[in-house]
Amino acid sequence: MSRSRLRTRKVTNAVMLGLCGLSAALAVIALLAILSYTVGKGLPAIGLKFLTSLPQPVGDPGGGIGNAIVGTTVLVALACGIGIPAGLLAGIYVAEFAHPRVAVVVRFVADVLFGVPSIVTGVFVYGLVVVAMGGYSALAGGIALALIMVPIISRTAEESLKLVPNTLREAGLALGVPLWRIILSVVIPSALPGVLTGIMLGLARVAGETAPLIFTAFGSRLNYKGVDEPIAALPLQIYRYAISPYADWQRQAWGAALILIVMVLLASVAVRLLTRKRSSNLGR
Amino acid sequence: MSEAFVLARTEDKAVAHGMVTEELNAWYGRMHALRNINLTIEPRQVTAMIGPSGCGKSTLIRCLNRLHEVVAGARVGGKVLLDGVDVYAPGTDPVDLRRRVGMVFQRPNPFPTMSIFDNVVAGLKLSSRQGRQRMAEVVERSLKQAALWDEVKDKLNQPGTDLSGGQQQRLCIARALAVEPEILLMDEPCSALDPVATMKIEELMRSLREAYTQVIVTHNMQQAARVSDFTGFMLMAEDRAGELVEYGRTDQVFTNPRDKRTEDYITGRFG
């Protein structure tokens, strides 16, 4: 190879490596900036009372986000209870059983659903559930969040299942095992890390959704009263406090934001820890 | 390896199982892959299918356990008789058939999320057959039949994928034997293995002869000559459909082939 061409290639290589490193650094810096800013502004607001008490009117001392923490937990649990089974079953169906043309349609629908702005989902659930039930409710909020979760879980589950080599399914079939059993006992466990990642992505996404909750869960300054009643939620609380003109509430908004990030982080870590033993050995 | 383990099958001790294909045809969509195959798999014998790449050997044995139809767009015509009963007759359960006609694949494929123990009994556990109680016995028997027991008996709880390639293939054979099939199909079982592992598997095939009917697809003629009792030679016709050119006892096919094409292939003039 001529010397000048070799030099050009070396320079190009170095420049591209530098750009890659720079991009990675920028991404990490952005993440660290958000985290550190939130921690810096939110940590002063954290305290036991803050975490457990109900919101107080402005001016009154104390007040906290206890009901919002419970509310977010309830809403995310509802969303998972509806969204995870629906998303998983859809993903499994498309990956394993669907006729190719049906699969294309289902995949397309999932992608469209994924692209629907969450506020539109909220308005839709308002028309469907809130009006029918005669009022805002945690259930409506859970349904709206589930609708946002389903395409995320379905697509990642489908992609993870498709990554499992077909040789495993054939090995199971050759033993005289019915296909559904192979999928349940061999394919899904092998695809579990990817499936779990999809679930965690969905969970993190809906835990922070605000717009759909405005029309469905509505928010509340009271304790949890049941799934058929309006319910507080951390993102709603953050929104309402942050846009308020009161410094105290704005401080509490930062604290709530920090708590929300910590909750999602803890959930991710917990899921990974609990399922660590079942990681697959597809590497060989 | 104890003879007792080979013969101590819980079913069908005295019955020998064979298969016959009648005018077997197979298609992948519009592509004709097998044409009018008439073949007899003799009971308790090893039948080898040889031929150049692409001639349809693998397609043929996948028709024997109805694995061919699992591919989208694949079709089968003709009959395949297992002990005189057509396995493609309407109403036949392919899942049950595949338990009776087992298969070992070219690349070892132990289930990655399962231990060695669980791999061996996977066929039993997952197909809701009886035998849950004596699983440890089944594991020992199957691993001994597959000549793997001594190497893994102290690490049955380790992942199946922790073994070497040759051991993994013997694990797959043990897994196939654990469900006590009547016939064992092997699709180029040694082509991904080193010579030592290949030798062990060929020994294994010899030792299984008394209890099982075996069919092996191989592109290695010497292997076919070494292990088989009957040999079928296949060729791809001009329209890419596979045909059975010659079939007979191995010693006859290799020393005195009837068809010139067989002779050409065996003497290395092509293939």
pLDDT per residue as tens digits for the range B233-269: 999 999 899 999 999 999 999 999 999 999 999 988 7
Lowest mean pLDDT across A212-226, A266-280, B12-26, B51-65:
A266-280
Taking residues B32-39, what's their average pLDDT? 94
Task: Spell out the alpha helix ranges (H) of chain A.
Answer: 3-42, 48-52, 66-92, 100-115, 118-125, 131-133, 138-163, 166-174, 179-182, 188-207, 211-214, 234-242, 247-274
What mean pLDDT is reported for chain B?
89
**Closest Cα partner for B28 from B54, B1, B5, B65?**
B54
Neighbours of B113 (CB within 10 A): 24
Record the pTM.
0.82
Record: contact A185-B67, CB cut-off 8 A: no
CA distances to A62, A150, A176, A197, B173 from A204, rounded to whole Å, are 29, 13, 41, 10, 45
**Which uninterrupted H or E stretch holds B170?**
helix B165-178
- In angstroms, the CA A245 to CA A259 distance is 22
- The per-residue pLDDT for A171 is 95
- Cβ-contact A280, A189 below 8 angstroms: yes
- The per-residue pLDDT for B54 is 86
- The per-residue pLDDT for A279 is 47
The residue of chain A with its CA nearest to that of B184 is: A174
Taking residues B175-192, what's their average pLDDT? 93
pLDDT per residue as tens digits for the range B98-157: 999 999 999 999 999 999 999 999 998 887 665 556 788 899 999 998 989 999 999 999
- The per-residue pLDDT for B111 is 95
The residue of chain B with its CA nearest to that of A172 is: B123
- Does A138 reside within a domain? yes
- Does A45 reside within a domain? no
Least CB–CB distance from B109: residue in A168, A176, A192: A168
What is the distance in angstroms between the Cα of A166 and the nearest Cα belonging to chain B? 10
- Cβ-contact B179, B102 below 8 angstroms: yes
**Which uninterrupted H or E stretch holds B244?**
strand B242-249
Q: How far apart are the first and last CA of chain A?
A: 38
A275 shares contact with chain B (CB less than 8 Å): no
| Dihedral, A173, A179, A181, A185 alpha carbons, nearest 10 | 70
Record: contact A182-B126, CB cut-off 8 A: yes
Taking residues B161-181, what's their average pLDDT? 93
Taking residues B154-182, what's their average pLDDT? 93
If DSSP codes are grouped into helix, strand and coil, which group holds residue B194? coil
- In angstroms, the CA A72 to CA A174 distance is 47
Model confidence at B206, in pLDDT bands (50, 70, 90)?
A: very high
Domain at A198, CATH number: 1.10.3720.10
CA distances to A7, A87, A102, A110, A160 from A106, rounded to whole Å, are 51, 12, 6, 6, 17
Q: Which residue has the tokens 């009957």?
A: B230
Neighbour-count burial for A259-279, b at 16+ CB within 10 Å, e otherwise: bbbebbeebbeeeeeeeeeee
B97 shares contact with chain A (CB less than 8 Å): yes
The domain over range B17-113+185-266 is classified in CATH as 3.40.50.300: yes
Mutate to test the interface with A, among B87, B100, B111 (most CBs of A within 10 A): B111
- Does A26 reside within a domain? no
Look up residue A91 and give its two tokens: 């993903």
- Does A256 reside within a domain? no
Least CB–CB distance from B113: residue in A172, A181, A189: A189
Q: Parse chain B into domains and list their residue ranges.
A: 17-113+185-266
Q: How many distinct structural domains can be found in chain A? A: 1
- Cβ-contact B204, B144 below 8 angstroms: no
Least CB–CB distance from A167: residue in B72, B105, B125: B105
ipTM of this complex: 0.87
The B residues from 15 to 54 touching A (CB cutoff 8 Å) are none
Contacts of A280 in chain B (CB under 8 A): 112-113
B176 shares contact with chain A (CB less than 8 Å): yes
CA distances to A245, A248, A256, B174 from A59, rounded to whole Å, are 12, 8, 18, 75
- In angstroms, the CA A13 to CA A10 distance is 5
- The per-residue pLDDT for B6 is 44
- In angstroms, the CA A266 to CA A28 distance is 20
CA distances to A88, A100, A107, A154, A169 from A95, rounded to whole Å, are 10, 10, 10, 10, 13
Length in residues, chain A: 284
Determine what percent of chain B is predicted with pLDDT higher than 70. Answer: 92
pLDDT along chain A (284 residues), means of 10: 88 96 96 93 88 82 86 94 95 92 94 94 94 93 96 95 94 93 93 91 92 91 89 93 89 92 90 68 42
What is the distance in angstroms between the Cα of A39 and the nearest Cα belonging to chain B? 40
- Does A4 reside within a domain? no
Contacts of B104 in chain A (CB under 8 A): 174
Task: Evaluate if residue B8 carries a pLDDT over 90.
Answer: no
- The per-residue pLDDT for A46 is 87
| Domain residue limits at A183 | 69-240
CA angle B123, B127, B131 (to 5 degrees): 75
Task: Evaluate if residue B2 carries a pLDDT over 80.
Answer: no
If DSSP codes are grouped into helix, strand and coil, which group holds residue A76? helix
